[in-house]
Structure 1
Amino acid sequence: MAEEKKEPSCNKWKVSTGAYVALLAAILFFSGLFMKVDGMKWLSAFDFTTLGGTFGTMKEPAKNTFLGAGGVSAKAGFLFALSLVPTVMLALGVLEIFTHYGAIRAAHKLLTPLLKPLLGLPGLTGLALITDLQSTDAGAALTKELYDENQITKKDLVVMGAWQYSGAGLINNFFAIGSALFAFLTVPVILPLLLMFVLKFVGAIFVRFVLNTVYKEDFCNE
């Protein structure tokens, strides 16, 4: 008996109003826009960086190491790595909620016209790229999930890796670690952030060009 052909799911990329709302919520949550809003500090409660925590101020660097006083060790490195687990779990959990409500479908429809000509990527990768702005681990995990589910090709994976590797965790690291240099800036704080954001696209576009020329034969079957 011949096997029955499965009907293609016509609703796979159907986008409802709720999906757009979920995408907007995901962008706001991971974008850092709610981190510091003048006069509305309560909005920071809906920001990923605030919920994940930030580094404190080291008043006595010679004494205030991760373990207390003295140097660092492999043990300290493992302890620091373990301290990242709750933040990554939070990001992945929130992403699963947004994905359930259609955020990736909405991203695919809205961002494909932008990402396809620039990076050659489908719009569904947009949520992973947005997430990378605040959490490198969560962005990488979502990228891996897209690849494992065959929603992106190996070439897409390499281009996304180039975009994420350049200025990884941009907003989080810029305001949490880079803030120590704000007093020495001779330009508005937002300009270096915008420059690094633009350079992420420059790096990814360059990698895409190399893949389409020098390594074109490696991806001819995709």
Structure 2
Amino acid sequence: MVSNVLSTPQVPEQQEQATLEEEKVGVGAYVSLFFAVCFFSGVFYKMPEAYRWLGAFDFTTLIGKFGSISGASSFVGSGGVSARAGFLFALSLVPGVMLALGLLEVLSYYGALKAAQKLMTPLLKPILGVPGVTGLALITDLQSTDAGAALTKGLLDTGKIDKKNLVVMSAWQYAGAGLVNNYFSIASALFFAFLVPVWIPLVVMFCLKFVGGVFVRVCLTTFYKKDFQNE
């Protein structure tokens, strides 16, 4: 009885660790996570001709592109202003966000988020201070900033992350947003002038995303520590 009275409640880190130990993740969950990583990370984006069929399992390839109307680049057109232009731009983001959220629900059903929580927490927690469940949102940002933002908002709305985690994740995502997609779509025009293999700048930019995330995390735990005391 005395021990029950004197016992102290578990801190969030201990509760999270206990949950990871108690919760068993099956093989299907890891397969689901592996598919999610390949689908959202851009591994199958811009594959060589012999393996072009793998693009069917890539997020950017699967969402496709809009057709053009009367010479415009897409149905959004050109020269639009004010609320109507903003509405059409927002409408153009719907397919990618819906596809990402819909697929995430399916993958979550098969345990992808549980597998991500277990595998990625030992990596992301010490570096960025965020739980492993955020891994898919960060990976998705490599191809689509909109889908990555939608997944991040979903994590916040369901209570899986707090506002401090949100700020750190946003810093990671903002630096080099849509990295894989933009790199191969825009920088590819300069590949012929590169003095190093094309994958080296990509790796450097990916590492710098973590540098930015760590810098913001340090700022939040020092200069802005009081802003998150009630979190």
Write 1 or 2 for the structure with the bigger share of helix.
2
Q: Report the CA distance between 1:169 and its aligned residue.
A: 1.1
Cα offsets for 1:194-222 (capped at 9, x unmatched): 11111110000000000000011111233
CA distance 1:72–1:184, change in 2 (3 Å): farther
Distance 2:127 2:89 in 1: 37
Q: Which residue of 1 aligns with 2:44?
A: 34
Q: Which residue of 2 aligns with 1:60?
A: none
Q: Report the CA distance between 1:146 and its aligned residue.
A: 1.0
CA distance 1:177–1:55, change in 2 (3 Å): farther
Q: Which residue of 2 aligns with 1:3?
A: none
Count of residues paired in the alignment = 209
CA distance 1:150–1:35, change in 2 (3 Å): same
Q: Report the CA distance between 1:188 and its aligned residue.
A: 1.8
Out of 46-55 and 96-105, give the one that drifted further. 46-55
Q: Which residue of 2 aligns with 1:15?
A: 25
Cα offsets for 1:31-79 (capped at 9, x unmatched): 11112333221111111111122699xxxxxx965379x9633255643
Q: Give yes or no for contact 1:54–1:176 (8 Å, CA) kept in 2.
A: no
TM (norm. structure 2) is 0.80
- Does residue 82 in structure 1 map to residue 63 in structure 2? no
Distance 1:52 1:181 in 2: 26
Q: Which runs of 5+ in 1 are unaligned?
A: 1-9, 57-62
TM (norm. structure 1) is 0.83
Q: Which residue of 1 aligns with 2:10?
A: none
- Does residue 214 in structure 1 map to residue 219 in structure 2? no
Q: Secondary structure at the match of 2:230?
A: coil
Q: Give yes or no for contact 1:31–1:171 (8 Å, CA) kept in 2.
A: yes
- Does residue 115 in structure 1 map to residue 114 in structure 2? no
Q: Give yes or no for contact 1:91–1:138 (8 Å, CA) kept in 2.
A: yes
CA distance 1:30–1:126, change in 2 (3 Å): same
Q: Which runs of 5+ in 2 are unaligned?
A: 1-18
Distance 1:127 1:80 in 2: 25
Cα offsets for 1:72-106 (capped at 9, x unmatched): 33255643442232122112111111111111110
Distance 2:66 2:211 in 1: 30
Q: Secondary structure at the match of 2:45?
A: coil
Q: Give yes or no for contact 2:93–2:146 (8 Å, CA) kept in 1.
A: no
Q: Percent identity of the aligned residues?
A: 64
- Does residue 43 in structure 1 map to residue 54 in structure 2? yes
Amino acid at match of 1:53: G
Amino acid at match of 1:219: F
Out of 78-87 and 126-135, give the one that drifted further. 78-87
Instruction: State the Cα RMSD in Å.
Output: 2.7
Distance 2:198 2:72 in 1: 28
- Does residue 52 in structure 1 map to residue 63 in structure 2? yes
Distance 2:127 2:218 in 1: 11
Q: Which residue of 2 aligns with 1:101?
A: 110
